[in-house]
Amino acid sequence: MSFKHKWIFYALSILIASLAAHESIRLMILIVPILFLLNLKKSGTIHLILIIIFSVSAYFYFDHTIMKTQEPLNFPAKLVWTDEYKISGDKLRGFMKDENGRKIYVVYELKSEEEKNAFAQESLVGKSYLTTAELVEPSEPNHPYAFDMKNYLMSKGAIGIAEVQNWQYVGTKNTIPQKISKQRFRIKTHIEEKFPSSLAAEAQSLLIGLQENVDEETTRAYQTLGITHLFAISGLHIAIIALIIYQGLLRLRVRKEFATIVLLVALPIYAVLAGGAPSVWRSVLIVEIMMIGRLKGKISAHDALAISFILFVFLEPWSIYQVGFQLSYLATISLIYSGPLISRSSSWLIQSFLITFVCQLLVYPLLLYHFYEISLSSFIVNIFFVPLFSFIILPINMILLAASYLPTAVPEILFQIYEPARAILTKIIDLLQSIPYQMWNPGKPSIYLALFAFICVLLTFYLLDSKARLWKVCLSLFIPIVILQTAGKITDDLIITFVNVGQGDCVVIELPYKEEVYMIDTGGFLRFEQEKWKEKSAVFEVGRDIVVPFLKGKGIQKIDKLILTHADSDHMEGAEEILQEIPVNEIHVSPNSILKGNMSDLLKEAMQQKIPVKEQIGNAQWKNGDIIFHYLWPNDTNYEGNDDSLVLNVAKGEFEALFMGDVEEQGEKQILKQYPDLEKIDLLKAGHHGSKTSSSEGFIEKMQPALTVFSAGKNNRYGHPHKEVVERFEKLGLPTIGTFEKGTIEIRVDENKMKVLSGLN
């Protein structure tokens, strides 16, 4: 009985068993198509029986493993640090393991700068603590496209989050992985001490897989060009390392068999040293399996990939939910199975393009599902940057690391030569990433649409392989692309979304068919001065971390009007990050609010991008189709704060909405006086987050809103919305809803009817 080219079916059965154990046993029915395919290939009854036994056994094993992670953890408990941790500001966070080997995400608040320095000066891997902690629930994501802590923990096989109350060091667990991780920490520290600051982050990324020190601007530039994978240790990195070790041993006249054994031992050590990312272990496992296969008899790359997948998923059943794992295996599959297509051309340039094209094409539905956008320039840029990083920059960094241990002037000379050259490359990357329209952002597809796109990609490969006519290939390729691009736009609803930005305001208004998109405020933080050692290395930004993912997830590719009601941080601080990520046609502000210091960074960014900033005043209006937008307030140019917020009235047929910014009672009275016909509206965005200084009784009695939305943070320090205000609405029988309790709230207006979709977190 031969297993040659059959391992892929066993790998698929393992994938199905893992999914069924996580989601539902009903998914085991997907084994039937695999059995059908095996039968078509006339694989024999033995293989059919083995697949059934293999998949059923795997299901019960995975189910048992997953159930163990759901058993409660009782404190005090002895916990051991893994190599996945980070010190940022006054927090130490990361994964520890209990005595049963289960992972838990631990958060510890550092007491002093001295304690922080003590933790930072040595590797924590293997250190054990007798810990007393409180288990807390993961926070809900702000919206469907935001980071989901619960899903992240599931992908890591973690049992939950523990906030440390106190702990006591009890010793260090000395294991081989612990010793290797300790060496990784020493190399990390050595690079920080010996390399120029401009080169340290790159060296840490390429040599030991540590990317936490790569700055945001560099990351954003690499994302735009679609080359972020170059900062991760990939299969090509492993191949180069393997080649260096193997050829080096042969040149030392070591026998091939012994060199192979050395490589079998060295590669797993490097995998741990490099941080153990899925791409690293996948590459190491494939190389090791193929080498063992050559010792015992040949094994194909197809089978090596399938066997490595089986081993990986058996060791970590939850790894199938890790994006890196999914992308790593899909990209490798695309290269292995498209080998004949790539080898048709003898031109290096064409082969390089085909390799990039094949990889990007197979993974693009997955990239859209997870990240909502893909880089179009990556198809060209990778042709040049992959060999540049793999065969020039990576070896240079290896040489620099080796030289940095020499006690001579050699490393300084090498750094002086390489640093200016690398700076030129950085300028080229910055120039390339500034070219507009490089990102395709159709938004997050449904799982069914993503699967349809994936099936069409496989069909495209089949058509290319069988040398089908070009029009057939184009149809297979572009039909899903057209559907993906238009799927989120085929609605004539007016969509108003109150994005949950915590304590702040952010409203997105999508006109029918996404003809235009307006945003009222961007959210933001009111930041307070704190001791320098408590400042985080990566500052959380509402604009970049909450609002931009929402816009990209919705497939919003531009903002026609960005309306900043006033200059308070919780309304406009996120604007600068949004401008850096999403094209904006024009910005509306309250008269003279731009003179406030809060607005300086925004104005600088707007000026750099040549975005017009227009001051608006009461009675200014515009129309789009049957929708009228009318500024009601302010009525003068003397900016004094909340009561000079821009107030926008939106009318579509019989539907009417009012967005009050932070206008307070005095401003409400003036608006009632100036617009006596304004009454009985459908939707009200309450002024000042429901503060008791707003939503006065006379105002809401006149407005009689069918629904009022409070945009406020959960358990916020200001007590918004105020109890008196809530009771005021209740007394009048007027329904209210808040982002603090329901998360992101979507309102759809269709034929003058209002439909509320809440709890979109």
Same domain, 248 and 269: yes
pLDDT at position 266 is 79
Domain boundary at 174, 195, 217, which?
174
- pTM greater than 0.95 (yes/no): no
Same domain, 264 and 371: yes
Same domain, 476 and 499: no
Domain boundary at 140, 155, 174, which?
174
Decide: 660 and 647 in contact? Cβ < 8 Å: yes
Structure confidence by residue, pLDDT tens digits, 404-456: 998 888 889 999 999 999 999 999 999 998 888 889 999 999 999 999 999 99
Report how far residue 749's alpha carbon sits from residue 377's, in angstroms, rounded to the nearest whole number: 38
Structure confidence by residue, pLDDT tens digits, 698-757: 999 999 999 999 999 998 888 899 999 999 999 999 999 999 999 999 999 987 788 998
Report how far residue 121's alpha carbon sits from residue 113's, in angstroms, rounded to the nearest whole number: 12
Q: Which amino acid is at 622?
A: W
Same domain, 88 and 30: no
Query: Which of 665, 662, 563 has its CA nearest to residue 620?
Result: 563
For residue 345, count other CB atoms closer than 10 A to its CB: 13
Q: Which amino acid is at 217?
A: E
Residue 536 resides in a domain: no
pLDDT at position 303 is 79
Q: ω into residue 365 within 30 of 0, thus cis? A: no
Same domain, 409 and 552: no
Same domain, 17 and 135: no
Same domain, 630 and 735: yes
Decide: 485 and 443 in contact? Cβ < 8 Å: no
193-to-124, 196, 202, 536, 739 alpha-carbon distances in Å: 19, 8, 14, 21, 47
Q: Which residues of the chain have pLDDT under 70?
A: 1-5, 41, 43, 232-237, 240, 275-279, 282, 290, 293-298, 348, 527-528, 758-761
pLDDT at position 1 is 44
Residue 533 resides in a domain: no
Q: Which residues of 552-563 are buried (b: 16+ CB within 10 A; e: fewer)?
A: bbbbbbebbbbb
pLDDT at position 584 is 96
Residues in contact with 284: Cβ distance below 8 Å, sequence separation at least 6, in sequence order: 238, 267, 268, 270, 271
Strands (E), 339-487: 374-375, 439-440
Tally of domains within the chain: 5
Same domain, 433 and 471: no
Q: Which residue range is the domain that position 39 belongs to?
A: 7-69
Residue 1 resides in a domain: no
Residue 98 resides in a domain: yes
Q: ω into residue 634 within 30 of 0, thus cis? A: yes
Same domain, 204 and 324: yes
Query: Which of 634, 636, 637 has its CA nearest to residue 667?
Result: 634
Residue 242 resides in a domain: yes
Same domain, 747 and 710: yes
Q: How many C-alpha atoms does 177 have within 13 Å on its Cβ side? A: 16
Q: Which amino acid is at 9?
A: F
Same domain, 19 and 97: no
Residue 534 resides in a domain: no
Same domain, 473 and 588: no
Report how far residue 290's alpha carbon sits from residue 298's, in angstroms, rounded to the nearest whole number: 7
pLDDT at position 5 is 64
Residue 655 resides in a domain: yes
pLDDT at position 537 is 73
Residue 463 resides in a domain: yes
Domain boundary at 69, 89, 120, which?
69
Q: ω into residue 721 within 30 of 0, thus cis? A: yes
